[in-house]
Amino acid sequence: MEPVDKPSNFLRQIIERDLAQGTYANRRFAGHPADAAGHAAGQTDPARIRTRFPPEPNGYLHIGHAKSICLNFGLAQDFGGVCHLRFDDTNPEKEDQEYVDAILDAVHWLGFDWNADGVSHLFYASDDFDFMYRCACALIEHGLAYVDEQNADDMRRNRGTLTEPGVDSPWRNRTPEENLRRFEEMRAGQHPEGSMVLRAKIDMAAPNINLRDPAIYRIRFAHHHRTGDTWCIYPMYTFAHPIEDAMECISHSLCTLEFEDQRPFYDWLLDHLVRLGLVASPRPHQYEFARLNLTYVVTSKRKLAQLVAERHVDGWDDPRMPTLVGLRRRGYTPESLRLFTDRIGVSKADSWIDYSVLEQALRDDLDARAPRAMAVLDPLKLELTNWAEVFGNAAHAEPCSAPVHPGHPEMGRRQFDLTAQVWIEREDFMEVPPKGYHRLTPGGLARLKYGYVIRCTGCEKDADGRVTKVLAELLPDTKSGTPGADAVKVKGVITWVSASLGVAAQVRLFDRLFTEAHPDAGGRDFLAVLNPQSKQTVQAYIEPALATAPAGASFQFERHGYFVADRVDHSSAQPVFNRTTTLRDSWGK
């Protein structure tokens, strides 16, 4: 399989080089319990490359994870390989099956699958705890790991600084036999949490602090959501991750830049495990790319959890949240997110992507396929005072139609009726208009879209002087689509919904959650720049057919923007629509 025609980047170049050199062409499975979905030991790996997406199931995925998902699964698809979905569930205190289920759903929703050629490539770190323990014991036996009984403060103090070397632990020179006995006692639950850890024995004077005897196992008396109480020691992520890569025959382990300083330990560990015969060669290699930094967004799990816990938002799936469940409820489509990740590309340099780039990807996706509809978000009643005279019946309903999508005639036409009273937008009438105003004014003409030209004759007001109704006359023989309809020229065209046939709907107008492009820059309290206008709810009126729209269906409300029937609250009895995005970027203007 030749790679698809996509813009090149440094990761594609690495993969192309490895394929050209046959780096992983004759790699064989070693027979570990998780060997690439049960392939037999000694079998040649049929995949050209293997990537993986390794989330920790301790929260909901966000827009940054979407970049990683699209990158890992996309590269595997483009180069005829396989991408694994792996749950790095090594931290039982923070993990939950709820998050596992949400992650599975999110990956599928984005359009990707961990099944290939009838084989599932879904893995859990917890399935391989036995082998990780075996690797740890092998390191101890060969003098490459030791049990340290310093407390956390002493370990931190003795680790050194960027300019000063660390200090050897007083337990560093125990014999392998002593260390193995202590480690077995840790596993047996004979020591309290925090009393000891297992550390790799590397170099306490290493310039890279991550090589100064990093901890690789700690004691945790915590119930694991999959293994229960089988274990009371758990591997550190930096220890488990490279072992899982090797066991699954991953070829290209793609991480964000914050893991670059961890790569020397990744290499140190796998090189020793290859030498000890526990990991097959050629081993995986780690490559780092820049994470997604998006303006007007925070992606820290801690800060997102704070927004939810303190009820600044209405849950993890609040449409203002950058979580995938939130973006989905907002009306973002999988296609738009994949388009966005393609457009921002991949590099090794950190940079900021403006939120408008994400919104434009959504517009470009929805513009081509979202059905059109009319809705009135700030309703003002308009009465056609000569309706009975023109049609001979005050209750007459005049049929009108419009294309479902102006660019796709094959999608058909939608039908709705014009009646004597309609709802129009309040901003479409002004008694004293400014220069250049082309909508309704006393004595002025405008067209009801897909309907007739009307002449405004005045308005009615309440005791406070607020306009409560606009009065107008319909001009016969000006109906859109009929002969002579253009005989009367008008500059203004306004949208409307029948007052008697239109359906009341709750419409939620969502905007950016923060008022500043970098909400938490410089240690600032991100809550101080929450946008008080990020959610506004209005009582609107919509075309009758929209009431029966299925939850999750997207539409362009003509002139207003793109809206989606809420996945949770929308029903035919009580329609609820969320604004996904406006028709054009007007933020800050």
Catalytic residues: 56, 291, 301
Q: How far apart are CA 495 and CA 424, in angstroms?
A: 6
- Amino acid identity at 422: V
DSSP result, 242-306: HHHHHHTT-SEEEEEGGGGGGHHHHHHHHHHHHHTTSS-SSPPEEEEEPPPEETT----HHHHHH
Q: How far apart are CA 378 and CA 398, in angstroms?
A: 24
H-assigned helices in 142-259: 152-158, 176-187, 237-247
Q: How far apart are CA 521 and CA 515, in angstroms?
A: 13
Q: How far is CA 306 from the centre of its chain?
A: 18
DSSP result, 463-528: TTS-EEEEEEEE-TT--TTSTTTTSS--S-EE-EEETTTSEEEEEEEE--SBSSSSTTGGG--GGG
Q: Which of 543, 504, 503 is nearest to 417 (CA)?
A: 543
Number of Cβ atoms within 10 Å of the Cβ of 432: 7
Q: How far apart are CA 202 and CA 144, in angstroms?
A: 7
- Amino acid identity at 510: F
Contacts of 179 (CB under 8 A, 6+ apart): 140, 145, 146, 147
Number of Cβ atoms within 10 Å of the Cβ of 215: 16
Q: How far apart are CA 318 and CA 568, in angstroms?
A: 11
Place of tokens 């125990």: 174
